[in-house]
């Protein structure tokens, strides 16, 4: 555990795990990507100035369009919002930090390095040029052969890994670390919107992770999912939009949360119909997973399903109506202060109303048939997603005084808003007027030239407006007046109750809402024991041993000071980035020769750079992961928290459950992909590729290993070191047996039957081979990952760990059981039927 | 331009363009109305309840830092549900209305089958091939008769395209391994109005590669008799086109590499 250097030191920003530091890092990095994506947008607008004008070649234009979409949706919108979420969700719920501070730092560094990978991809023979929707099969190397295309796909994959870690972290924090007396319904609206967002992210990003893995497999290993005519294109459509539609709300909800906060703060009124607003938010989060096929109305989906999707689409627009009206009615009878933050939030509402109304047009299928692939869609989603993000800029002004302690310049802020609002409508409303232009073309009907030129002028105005904001923030940070703790008249939430900026550990004493309002209570800390609640005189209160205090007592390191610094998140992310950079060119720099037997297997390295990077990155990853696990990092759970509905579930266990839930979706997507492809190929036309006997043996091997993991936990509880070592050892042995049987099975397929990923003899189909190898391969990777963790546990147990605290063994057990259960689903699908 | 496309057929058919224009008009009118009312109401309230520096009213209950949120109930909450109910009625009736017309667009006009023609459209990087029932293949220019229902079976031999004409208001995804169906028809009046030969622009509406922007085609509509004459003539120069098609098909099956 390292000490945390002061904020003036560069080292501080590399090792910090504090949620406020990371919030600042997220915000600044996201603004950088706003500039990156913005420059690409301006290039696009320049190309559209004249239908015959060519600033860029067709390929470069497509790259600009693709990268603009990817950067704005993934690397700007969500991370910008999560900068604020990082900073303010723990403050709003009365927590000291997020549940897993190192994991939070890891998420940030994964985000940053994934963005670096995306930047590098421009110089790897050109980045991806298949649009941000990456429709198949344009997304496979046959049609987008550049190394940079693979680089961009892997960058997205890395980004999603970071998002998954962040999702688990926020879910655990909000469900586990709320201050005493703050029930779920009592949470501030910004925190509510983030909670709904991360619940959607847990499932939506898992689907994207799965589809990204399959695409990476197609691009790096050479499987043929998305080029398969047996439904490969539609498979991409379904999986992508199953993620893609919730994603719209994932980027919009944090902005909605900011609007809900700001409308209250700057009108002095409380939210109208608060309960119904929360119910609407929850409804939308669920419904968002039931509408994805409205992005595919023109494909070969049948009328019945289209009708169902139309109904669910209309259904999801209704809670939004309620949200909009709640916002409007909140203002009535208020004392509305037209500060810069409120102007942005108010502007966002107006833009969102327009975006919502034009969205209803798209819900009517006949209209959608015509709008599909046109600027109507482009204009609509910019009004919704970027219109929503307008509120996030309001959030930036709103929280700037809290984050820096300085007040921004109100006049410049208002100028920014006016220029922004005019520019915004010039660029995006002109798109409605020129809606018949097909998306992503630059040789358009000259009749629309006037509109597109107006849009280009608006785009430059919009871009310029941000420099007013940057100047304002920079100037105010250096020489602005002190903001004080609470510069706003009608703020309510807890971040305004502490100094600006808040101290490292946030609170003067333990925050509590037990009395109905925020109070800082002093706990009684007996010598050599955890804190207990104190009464007014400072004496310990015994409340009959509530379950959570038990957890605290079981924590062996309770008397330590919380840690705030670790170097391993950045190193682990760096290693991942290097490995993925290597993988992006791996396929182009190596050739595998299988020969007729294993002894003839050889790898020809055409270019050593990429394979070297891959190996270095992988070794670094394992090393950093090991050091991470061995680091003595103390992040205590909050002691008297509200945690409905997960009372009595320990923090790390809760995180593990959330992680496994997302992994269920990953495997669910892989299994759905296998079923979907097989259905399209004709279900009965496939015979299982492998023999059923080795699969059956492996089923027994894995089930037995689930049993030995339980034995390990029992041994840990009994503090029986030999028993612990023996049962972990047995689990590892069974795991290796499983892999050995698997290896034999693959060897037989490759060398006896000649079946490999995409090369198959007569009687097999290439896509079937791909599905078999990739799906069971993903499971094998999970087994290998589990074995690495088991080895780590074994070595640590040998050195005497886990005798006092057996929880790592228990959590490894959860993971291992999950991997075994997945096999129970894969076995019949690939070995029996 | 849209106004000039009166595609009403003698038998009471309605072209897709006409159906679209009707729905679009209704949505646009109602959408504008709702939008103007809601935005005007919002702006008016924001202005009316601005903080003018005066003393707060008696019933103004300022929130304080650290309070647990309660929210407002009372008359405003009732108004919330009233507005919500109204908006739900507008949205749902709009969609139900549009759905009735969707069924027509999906089915297409009822014809006696005579004169109907089904053409297979195959997209490729970067153009369109049209396969006629008699085996004739055209590239990029689709020649069809007026006053007939033209059924299209749209597919692709490489990547995902989208075959559509903004002027005729029809579109279909062109996906490898899939066949999407749509239809259109152009009246002889329209052909007359364009001087005996009507042409419409076809564009690709799904990003499909470096040549996507220029992936245009054309639909040429001839009067019935002229078209029949042209169609008869296609029988003779069939062989060359067939060879082309075979070669292209060979290229299209590279997905298994």
Nearest CA in chain A to B206: A373
By the CB < 8 Å criterion, does B24 face chain A? yes
Nearest CA in chain B to A128: B209
By the CB < 8 Å criterion, does B166 face chain A? yes
By the CB < 8 Å criterion, does B85 face chain A? no
Q: Are A246 and A203 in contact (CB under 8 A)?
A: yes
SS (H, E, C) A84-115: HHHHHHHHHHCCCCCCCHHHHHHHHHHHHHHH
Ranges in chain B, pLDDT < 50: 1-11, 241-257
How many contacts, defined by CB atoms under 8 Å, are there between A and B? 292
Q: What average pLDDT score do residues A181-187 get?
A: 94
Nearest beta carbon to residue B46 from set A61, A336, A360: A336
Residue A366 to residue B176, Cβ atoms within 8 A: no
Q: What average pLDDT score do residues A201-228 get?
A: 96
Q: Enumerate residues 6+ apart whose C-beta is below 8 A from B183.
A: B16, B108, B149, B150, B151, B152, B170
Residue A336 to residue B49, Cβ atoms within 8 A: yes
- What pLDDT sits at residue A417? 98
- What pLDDT sits at residue A546? 45
Residue A364 to residue B39, Cβ atoms within 8 A: no
Q: Which of A546-550, A726-730, A789-793 has the lowest mean pLDDT?
A: A546-550
Show the tokens assigned to B185: 């028809």
Residue A273 to residue B166, Cβ atoms within 8 A: no
pLDDT per position as a tens digit, A327-371: 999 999 999 999 999 999 999 999 999 999 999 999 999 999 999
Mean pLDDT of all residues in chain A?
92
- What pLDDT sits at residue B57? 83
By the CB < 8 Å criterion, does A514 face chain B? no
Q: Enumerate residues 6+ apart whose C-beta is below 8 A from A518.
A: A94, A179, A494, A497, A511, A512, B65, B66, B67
By the CB < 8 Å criterion, does B62 face chain A? yes
Q: Are B14 and B109 in contact (CB under 8 A)?
A: yes
Decide: residue A328, CB within 10 A, 0-12 exposed, 13-18 middle, 19+ buried.
buried
Q: Of all residues in chain A, what percent carry a pLDDT higher than 90?
A: 83
By the CB < 8 Å criterion, does A351 face chain B? no
Nearest CA in chain B to A137: B159
The β-bridge partners of A744 are: none
Residue B105 to residue A366, Cβ atoms within 8 A: yes
Distance from CA of A5 to the nearest CA of B (A): 32
Interface of A with B in 527-546 (CB under 8 A): none
pLDDT per position as a tens digit, A563-589: 899 999 999 999 999 999 999 999 889
Q: Is pLDDT above 80 for A828?
A: yes
Show the tokens assigned to A66: 């693709």
- Region at A533 (left for phi over 0; alpha for psi -120 to 50; beta for the rest): beta
Q: Enumerate residues 6+ apart whose C-beta is below 8 A from A356.
A: A317, A320, A321, A324, A384
Q: What average pLDDT score do residues A82-106 get?
A: 96
Residue A333 to residue B101, Cβ atoms within 8 A: no
By the CB < 8 Å criterion, does A300 face chain B? yes
By the CB < 8 Å criterion, does B65 face chain A? yes
By the CB < 8 Å criterion, does A404 face chain B? no
- What pLDDT sits at residue B237? 58
Confidence of residue A540 (pLDDT cuts 50, 70, 90): low
Q: What average pLDDT score do residues A253-282 get?
A: 96
Taking the CA atoms of A756, A760, A763 and A769 in sequence, report the sign of the dihedral they define: positive
Show the tokens assigned to A75: 């690397």
Element at B245 (helix H, strand E): helix B238-252
Residue B27 to residue A494, Cβ atoms within 8 A: no
By the CB < 8 Å criterion, does A496 face chain B? yes
Nearest beta carbon to residue A138 from set B92, B172, B208: B208
**Separation of alpha carbons A602 and A605, rounded Å:** 10
**Separation of alpha carbons B152 and B120, rounded Å:** 6
Nearest CA in chain B to A770: B256
Closest by alpha carbon to A629, among A786, A789, A782? A789
Residues of B in contact with A277 (CB under 8 A): 71
Distance from CA of B240 to the nearest CA of A (A): 27
Nearest beta carbon to residue B178 from set A300, A337, A766: A300
**Separation of alpha carbons A595 and A747, rounded Å:** 12
- What pLDDT sits at residue A326? 96
Q: Is pLDDT above 90 for A638?
A: no
Nearest CA in chain A to B45: A332
**Separation of alpha carbons B100 and B106, rounded Å:** 10
Q: What average pLDDT score do residues A616-625 get?
A: 96
Nearest beta carbon to residue A366 from set B23, B66, B255: B23
Q: What average pLDDT score do residues A61-74 get?
A: 97
Nearest CA in chain A to B97: A364
Nearest beta carbon to residue A360 from set B66, B94, B169: B94
Q: Is pLDDT above 90 for A601?
A: no
Helix (H, G, I), strand (E, B) or coil at B113: coil
Residue A57 to residue B41, Cβ atoms within 8 A: no
Which one of B107, B125, B154, B177 makes the best mutation probe of the A interface by having the most chain A beta carbons within 10 Å? B177
Nearest beta carbon to residue B177 from set A229, A349, A443: A229
Interface of B with A in 126-145 (CB under 8 A): none
Residue A231 to residue B59, Cβ atoms within 8 A: no
Show the tokens assigned to B232: 């008869």
Residues of A in contact with B79 (CB under 8 A): 325, 329
- What pLDDT sits at residue B2? 38
Nearest beta carbon to residue A366 from set B19, B34, B209: B19
Distance from CA of A554 to the nearest CA of B (A): 32
- What pLDDT sits at residue A205? 97
User: pTM of the full predicted structure?
Assistant: 0.93
Closest by alpha carbon to A15, among A570, A572, A576, A621? A570
By the CB < 8 Å criterion, does B30 face chain A? no
pLDDT per position as a tens digit, A476-511: 999 999 999 999 999 999 999 999 999 999 999 899
Interface of B with A in 182-221 (CB under 8 A): 201, 203-214
Residue A517 to residue B68, Cβ atoms within 8 A: yes
Which one of B102, B123, B253 makes the best mutation probe of the A interface by having the most chain A beta carbons within 10 Å? B102
């Amino acid at each position: 555990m390292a000490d945390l250097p002061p904020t003036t030191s560069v080292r501080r920003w590399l090792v910090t795990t504090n949620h406020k530091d990371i919030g600042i890092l997220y915000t600044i990095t996201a603004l950088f990507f706003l500039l990156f994506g913005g420059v690409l947008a301006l290039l696009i607008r320049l190309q559209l100035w004249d239908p015959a004008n060519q600033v860029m070649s067709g390929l470069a234009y497509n790259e600009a369009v693709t990268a603009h979409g990817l950067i704005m949706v993934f690397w700007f919108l969500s991370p910008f919002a999560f900068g604020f979420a990082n900073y303010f969700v723990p403050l709003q719920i009365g927590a000291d930090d997020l549940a897993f501070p190192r994991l939070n730092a890891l998420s940030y560094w994964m985000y940053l390095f994934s963005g670096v990978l995306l930047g590098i991809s421009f110089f790897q023979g050109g980045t991806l040029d298949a649009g941000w929707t990456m429709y198949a099969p344009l997304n496979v190397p046959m049609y987008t052969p550049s190394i940079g295309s693979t680089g961009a796909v892997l960058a997205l994959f890395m980004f999603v890994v970071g998002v998954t870690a962040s999702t688990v972290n926020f879910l655990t924090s909000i469900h586990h670390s709320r201050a005493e007396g703050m029930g779920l319904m009592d949470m501030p609206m910004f925190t509510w919107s983030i909670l709904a967002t991360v619940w959607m992210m847990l499932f939506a990003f898992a689907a994207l992770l799965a589809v990204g893995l399959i695409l990476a497999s197609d691009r790096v290993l050479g499987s043929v999912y998305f080029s398969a005519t047996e439904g490969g294109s539609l498979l991409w459509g379904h999986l992508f939009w199953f993620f893609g539609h919730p994603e719209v709300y994932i980027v919009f909800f944090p902005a909605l949360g900011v609007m809900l906060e700001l409308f209250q703060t700057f009108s002095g009124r409380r939210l109208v119909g608060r309960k119904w607003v929360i119910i609407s938010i929850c409804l939308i989060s669920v419904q968002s997973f039931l509408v994805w096929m409205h992005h595919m109305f023109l494909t070969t989906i049948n009328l019945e399903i289209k009708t169902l999707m139309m109904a669910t689409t209309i259904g999801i627009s209704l809670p939004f109506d309620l949200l909009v009206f709640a916002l409007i009615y909140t203002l009535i009878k208020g004392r509305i202060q037209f500060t810069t933050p409120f102007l942005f939030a108010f502007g966002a509402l107006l833009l969102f109303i327009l975006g919502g109304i034009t969205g209803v047009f798209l819900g009517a299928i006949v209209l959608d048939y015509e709008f599909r692939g046109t600027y109507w869609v482009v204009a609509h989603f910019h009004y919704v997603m970027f219109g929503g993000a307008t509120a996030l800029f309001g959030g930036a002004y709103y929280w700037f005084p809290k984050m820096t302690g300085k007040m921004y310049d109100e006049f410049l802020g208002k100028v920014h808003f006016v220029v922004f609002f005019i520019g915004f409508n010039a660029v995006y409303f002109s798109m409605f007027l020129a809606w018949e232009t097909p998306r992503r073309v630059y040789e358009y009907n000259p009749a629309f030239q006037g509109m597109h030129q107006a849009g280009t002028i608006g785009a430059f105005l919009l871009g310029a407006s941000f420099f007013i904001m940057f100047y304002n923030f920079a100037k105010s940070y250096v020489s602005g007046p002190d903001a004080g703790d609470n510069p706003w008249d009608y703020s309510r939430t807890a971040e305004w109750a502490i100094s600006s900026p808040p101290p490292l550990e946030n609170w003067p004493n333990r925050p509590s809402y037990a009395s109905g309002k925020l109070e800082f209570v002093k706990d009684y800390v007996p010598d050599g024991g955890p804190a207990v609640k104190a009464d007014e005189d400072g004496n310990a209160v015994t409340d009959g041993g509530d379950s959570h205090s038990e957890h605290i007592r079981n924590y062996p390191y309770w008397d330590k000071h919380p840690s705030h610094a670790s170097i391993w998140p950045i190193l682990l992310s760096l290693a991942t980035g290097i490995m993925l950079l290597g993988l992006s060119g791996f396929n182009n720099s190596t050739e595998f020769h299988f020969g007729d037997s294993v002894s003839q297997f050889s790898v020809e390295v055409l270019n050593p750079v990429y394979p070297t990077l891959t190996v270095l990155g992988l070794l670094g990853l394992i090393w950093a992961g090991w050091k991470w696990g061995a680091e003595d990092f103390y992040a205590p759970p909050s002691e008297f928290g509200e945690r409905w509905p997960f009372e009595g579930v320990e923090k790390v266990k809760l995180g593990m459950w959330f992680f496994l839930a997302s992994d269920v979706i990953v495997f669910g997507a892989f299994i759905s992909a296998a079923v979907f492809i097989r259905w399209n190929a004709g279900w009965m036309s496939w015979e299982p590729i492998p023999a059923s006997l080795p699969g059956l043996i492996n089923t027994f091997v894995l089930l037995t290993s689930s049993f030995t993991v339980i034995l390990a936990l029992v041994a840990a509880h009994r503090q029986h070191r030999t028993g612990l070592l023996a049962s972990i050892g047995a689990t590892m042995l069974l795991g290796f047996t499983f892999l050995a049987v698997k290896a034999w099975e693959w060897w037989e397929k490759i060398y006896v039957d000649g079946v490999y990923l995409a090369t198959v003899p007569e009687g097999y189909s290439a896509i079937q081979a791909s599905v078999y190898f990739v799906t069971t391969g993903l499971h094998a990777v999970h087994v290998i990952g589990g074995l690495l963790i088991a080895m780590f546990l074994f070595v640590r147990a040998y050195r005497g760990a886990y005798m006092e605290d057996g929880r790592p063994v228990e959590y490894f057990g959860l993971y291992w059981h999950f991997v075994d259960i997945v096999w129970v689903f894969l076995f019949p699908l690939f070995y029996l039927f | 331009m849209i106004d000039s496309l009166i595609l009403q057929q003698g038998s009471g058919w309605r072209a897709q363009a006409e159906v679209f224009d009707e729905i679009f008009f209704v949505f646009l009118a109602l959408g504008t109305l709702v939008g103007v009312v809601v935005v005007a109401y919002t702006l008016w309230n924001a202005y009316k309840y601005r903080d003018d520096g005066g003393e707060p009213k008696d019933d103004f209950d300022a929130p304080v830092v650290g309070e647990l949120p309660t929210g407002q109930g009372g008359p405003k909450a009732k108004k919330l549900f009233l507005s919500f109910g109204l908006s739900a009625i507008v949205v749902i009736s709009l969609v139900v209305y549009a759905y009735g017309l969707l069924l027509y667009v999906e089915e297409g006009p009822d014809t006696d089958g005579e004169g109907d023609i089904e053409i297979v459209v195959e997209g490729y990087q970067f153009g369109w091939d049209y396969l006629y029932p008699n085996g004739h293949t055209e590239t990029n220019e689709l020649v069809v008769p007026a006053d007939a229902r033209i059924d299209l079976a749209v597919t692709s031999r490489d990547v995902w395209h989208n075959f559509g004409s903004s002027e005729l208001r029809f579109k279909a995804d062109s996906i490898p391994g899939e066949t999407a169906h749509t239809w259109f028809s152009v009246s002889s009046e329209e052909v007359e109005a364009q001087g005996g030969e009507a042409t419409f622009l076809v564009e690709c509406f799904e990003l499909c590669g470096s040549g996507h922007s220029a992936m245009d085609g054309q639909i040429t509509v001839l009067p019935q008799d002229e078209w029949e004459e042209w169609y008869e003539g296609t029988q003779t120069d069939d062989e060359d086109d067939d060879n082309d098609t075979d070669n292209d098909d060979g290229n299209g099956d590279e997905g298994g590499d």
